[in-house]
């Protein structure tokens, strides 16, 4: 549920499921602001949203709708009888398989990922066996990495796929930079505080496809997760499925798609960086209502989404921000690099076979 400003405060609203809301913020006002005071007004709204909920909706043509539509088309929609990425033959996609948590690039087949708040490999393996994943994804990193290369389909297989995704990657990075500037201001830091800590674009663009599935194969609720990096920019189709846990009641609330908006949530590293001043909130994707196919069975509609996982530079040291600690509130975490944290979480999330070489 969403709302603009009420007479009640966000902190008051989120304490009850009946009034829970994810704030809707016009980020265009931040971009066109001509003074720090004007920027601070929007920055305070954003930081307050991350403090109380962990999520915000950004509106104001943050990214032009046509740019987002193009990414969705190249990922999964059949155009003029030509297969786009997720409609390629399985053997074609398998040649691009994800195989290295340090690289975090390539195609992830249905059933391989098992997201969880756990970091225990055995527990995650048990969860995977009980409730297999029902989506496929394509993971894309920065193109100019000195050690790792993206895995692209041939141009003849999906024309303009590579250039579309690289353009979108850069566009999302620019949004990340601007939002982090606003967070810095809202946390009483210089606006450019994060600039040299996020400028290498060590991010991850994830294209997600949820094929139709029979309801009898859906084993329980969606998999709860909290994202690993600083921010996640989520682009939903009209079907949606995202649910956000109310931090106060621990009940899940729908984060329905709002046309022209980006859903943005704080990740684990941003929570850690802020000494838990900002929330990394659990969320999940649940199956949409099924279409009945007989007296006892239904079929969910196909759906897709695009997520841009924003990360600090992989060699950045994440330690509690000076404005988020005090004598009365010392740092809760030891310093850690982005790479140490994220690679460890990725290795546990995906099934890593003994024959894989890193």
pLDDT value of position 113? 53
| Predicted confidence (pLDDT) at residue 77 exceeds the cutoff of 50 | yes
| Predicted confidence (pLDDT) at residue 121 exceeds the cutoff of 60 | no
Mean pLDDT of 210-229: 69
Please provide residue 83's backbone torsions phi and psi, each rounded to the nearest 5 degrees: -75, 130
pLDDT value of position 47? 98
What share of the chain has pLDDT > 90, as a percent?
68
Give tens-digit pLDDT for 323-352. 999 999 999 999 999 999 998 877 766 554
- Whether residue 198 is contained in a domain is answered as yes
pLDDT value of position 178? 97
> Rounded to an integer, what distance in angstroms lies between the CA atom of residue 179 and that of residue 309?
13
- Whether residue 107 is contained in a domain is answered as yes
Q: Lowest-pLDDT range, 74-88, 203-217, 266-280?
A: 74-88
- Whether residue 358 is contained in a domain is answered as no
- Whether residue 2 is contained in a domain is answered as no
- Whether residue 93 is contained in a domain is answered as yes
pLDDT grade for 353, boundaries at 50, 70 and 90: very low
Distances (CA, A) of 38 to 5, 55, 179: 17, 22, 15
| Mean pLDDT, all residues of the chain | 86
Beta strand 55-59 pairing with 22-26: parallel
Give tens-digit pLDDT for 298-327. 777 778 899 999 999 999 999 999 999 999
| Predicted confidence (pLDDT) at residue 171 exceeds the cutoff of 90 | yes
- Whether residue 144 is contained in a domain is answered as yes
Q: Lowest-pLDDT range, 95-99, 195-199, 238-242, 267-271?
A: 238-242
| Predicted confidence (pLDDT) at residue 210 exceeds the cutoff of 90 | no
Give tens-digit pLDDT for 38-54. 999 999 999 999 999 99
Three-class SS of residue 165? helix
Structural domain count, the chain: 1
Residues sharing a CB contact under 8 Å with residue 245, sequence separation 6 or more, in sequence order:
224, 251, 252, 253, 281, 282, 283, 284
Maximum CA extent, the chain: 64
For position 153, which CATH number holds? 2.60.120.330
> Rounded to an integer, what distance in angstroms lies between the CA atom of residue 139 and that of residue 123?
24
Q: Lowest-pLDDT range, 30-39, 140-149, 267-276, 282-291?
A: 282-291
What share of the chain has pLDDT > 70, as a percent?
84
pLDDT grade for 167, boundaries at 50, 70 and 90: very high
- Whether residue 213 is contained in a domain is answered as yes
Residues of the domain holding 241: 17-349
> Rounded to an integer, what distance in angstroms lies between the CA atom of residue 79 and that of residue 82?
5
Pairwise pLDDT comparison (260 vs 349), residue with the higher score = 260
**Inter-residue contact 273 to 233 (CB < 8 Å):** no
pLDDT value of position 128? 44
Distances (CA, A) of 345 to 102, 139, 299, 336, 348: 11, 15, 33, 13, 5
- Whether residue 1 is contained in a domain is answered as no
Pairwise pLDDT comparison (208 vs 288), residue with the higher score = 208
Give tens-digit pLDDT for 18-28. 999 999 999 99
Pairwise pLDDT comparison (349 vs 178), residue with the higher score = 178
pLDDT value of position 132? 54
Q: Lowest-pLDDT range, 16-25, 60-69, 72-81, 281-290?
A: 72-81
**Inter-residue contact 232 to 265 (CB < 8 Å):** yes
């Amino acid at each position: 549920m969403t709302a603009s400003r009420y007479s009640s405060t966000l902190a008051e609203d989120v304490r009850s499921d009946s009034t829970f809301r994810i704030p809707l913020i016009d980020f265009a006002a931040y971009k066109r602001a001509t003074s720090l005071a004007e920027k601070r007004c929007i920055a305070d709204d954003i930081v307050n949203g991350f403090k109380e909920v962990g999520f915000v909706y950004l509106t104001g043509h943050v990214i032009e709708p046509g740019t987002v539509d193009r990414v969705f088309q190249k990922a999964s929609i059949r155009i003029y009888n030509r297969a786009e990425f997720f409609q390629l033959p399985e053997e074609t996609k398998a040649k691009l398989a994800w195989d290295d948590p340090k690289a975090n690039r390539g195609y992830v087949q249905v059933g391989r990922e098992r997201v969880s708040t756990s970091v225990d490999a055995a527990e995650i393996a048990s969860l995977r066996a009980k409730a297999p994943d029902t989506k496929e994804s394509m993971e894309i990193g920065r193109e100019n990495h000195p050690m790792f290369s993206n895995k692209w389909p041939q141009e003849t297989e999906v024309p303009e796929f590579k250039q579309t995704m690289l353009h979108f990657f850069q566009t999302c990075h620019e949004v990340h930079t601007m939002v982090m500037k606003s967070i810095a201001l809202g946390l009483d830091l210089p606006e450019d505080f994060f600039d040299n800590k996020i400028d290498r674009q060590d991010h991850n663009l994830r294209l997600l496809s949820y094929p139709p599935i029979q309801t009898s194969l859906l084993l329980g609720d969606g998999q709860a997760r909290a994202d690993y990096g600083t921010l996640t920019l989520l682009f939903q189709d009209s079907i949606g499925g995202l649910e956000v846990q109310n931090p106060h009641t621990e009940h899940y609330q729908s984060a329905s798609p709002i046309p022209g908006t980006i859903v943005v949530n704080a990740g684990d590293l941003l929570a850690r960086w802020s000494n838990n001043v900002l929330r990394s909130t659990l969320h999940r994707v649940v199956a949409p209502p099924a279409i009945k196919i007989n007296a006892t069975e239904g079929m969910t509609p196909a759906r897709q989404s695009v997520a841009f996982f924003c990360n600090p530079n992989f060699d950045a040291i994440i330690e509690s921000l000076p404005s988020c600690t005090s004598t009365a509130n010392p740092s809760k975490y030891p310093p850690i690099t982005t790479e140490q944290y994220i690679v460890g979480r990725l290795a546990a999330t995906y099934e890593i076979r003994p024959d894989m070489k890193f």
